[in-house]
Homo-oligomer: A and B are copies of this chain.
Amino acid sequence: MIERLAVIGVGLIGGSLALALKAVGAVGEVVGCGRTLANLETARDLGIVDRYHRDPGTAVAGADMVFVAVPLGQIRSVFAAIRGHLAEGAVVTDGASVKGTVIDDARAVFGQVPPWLVPGHPIAGTEHSGAKAAFAELYRRRQVILTPLESTDPGAVRRVEAMWRRCGAKVDRMPPGHHDEVLAATSHLPHMLAFGLVDLLARMRENDEIFRYAAGGFRDFTRIASSNPEMWRDICLANREALGAMLRRFAGELEGLASALDAEAGDELYAIFSRAKAARDRWISGE
């Protein structure tokens, strides 16, 4: 049971955690914090937060659990703002999509990664944002990855784990660098490919016509290219090392596919396409 939860950044991610915990009676009071007053008022009107403050230091006062759910580029300033304001025994976790930079931010602000900070990443989302997009079921049956360090307090990790389980999520642990490599492959690279492809087509002379003849496959393939450009710029920059490596590896794959086409190597193409179909069908059936 969390007595008082402070949610810094009451958007889809932060707001949905509050709603999920409230729905199962796992939290006493929720205090919100954010930059946009209108969003905070919406959050209060919707019953996501019980009250709010504009200043993170004030918002975390007396909270036993703090969830930092702001864009990656703002994590460091939130850490700086809550420094010295946390209650004794408070645990802090976050929801950022890249863990390496969150750990760097913590080191820069606190001099070390504090034992009460449990870096985490709930792998869930929709294309909508803001408090009005939040809903209690967002994390149900979703994966949450926690990336504690050796110096992290095991009790703090258990409390964060328990919190996510109350939301219906499955919780795993892995080293932060490994998390960032896995997410580069399954999430950050696909976003880069979708953004890159749509931009390439939009820059082609005959782009109106090209989009005109796009069909359902293209719509699904490019859905993630309608994501927030600012958020994705920050994620890609924050994970630039792992993502850059995956991008170059995939560019090499494309050269291989182009050579197979040149050589009319139908067997090779068939092998690649069938392996891909088998892997995806297996994944979908196990989902």
Identify which of residues 23-82 in chain A touch chain B, using a CB-to-CB cut-off of 8 Å.
none
A193 at the interface (CB under 8 A from B): yes
| Stretch of A3-11, A155-163, A230-238 that contacts chain B | A230-238
Q: How far is the CA of A219 from the CA of B145 in the complex (A)?
A: 19
- 1/0 contact trace for A245-287 toward B, CB 8 Å? 0011111011101100110101001101111111111011001
Q: How far is the CA of A287 from the CA of B280 in the complex (A)?
A: 28
Chain B positions within 8 Å of A177 at CB level: none
Q: Is B237 a contact of A201 with CB atoms below 8 Å? A: no
A125 at the interface (CB under 8 A from B): yes
How many residues on the A side are at the interface (Cβ–Cβ under 8 A)?
Answer: 89
Q: Is B218 a contact of A221 with CB atoms below 8 Å? A: no
A175 at the interface (CB under 8 A from B): no
Q: How far is the CA of A251 from the CA of B200 in the complex (A)?
A: 11
| Copies of the protein in its oligomer | 2
A198 at the interface (CB under 8 A from B): yes
Q: How far is the CA of A223 from the CA of B280 in the complex (A)?
A: 8
Given contacts A185-B201, A185-B204, A190-B221, contact A125 B215 (CB under 8 A): yes
Q: How far is the CA of A86 from the CA of B270 in the complex (A)?
A: 35
Q: Is B201 a contact of A197 with CB atoms below 8 Å? A: no
Cβ-closest chain B residue relative to A283: B211
Identify which of residues 181-215 in chain A touch chain B, using a CB-to-CB cut-off of 8 Å.
182-183, 185-187, 189-204, 206-207, 209-215
Chain B positions within 8 Å of A247 at CB level: 254, 257-258, 261
Q: How far is the CA of A274 from the CA of B269 in the complex (A)?
A: 33
Q: Is B211 a contact of A190 with CB atoms below 8 Å? A: no
A96 at the interface (CB under 8 A from B): no
Q: Is A248 a contact of B240 with CB atoms below 8 Å? A: no
Q: How far is the CA of A204 from the CA of B184 in the complex (A)?
A: 13
Q: A145-B213, A229-B274, A251-B254 are in contact. List 4 more A-B contacts (CB 8 A).
A: A193-B193, A199-B253, A250-B254, A251-B251
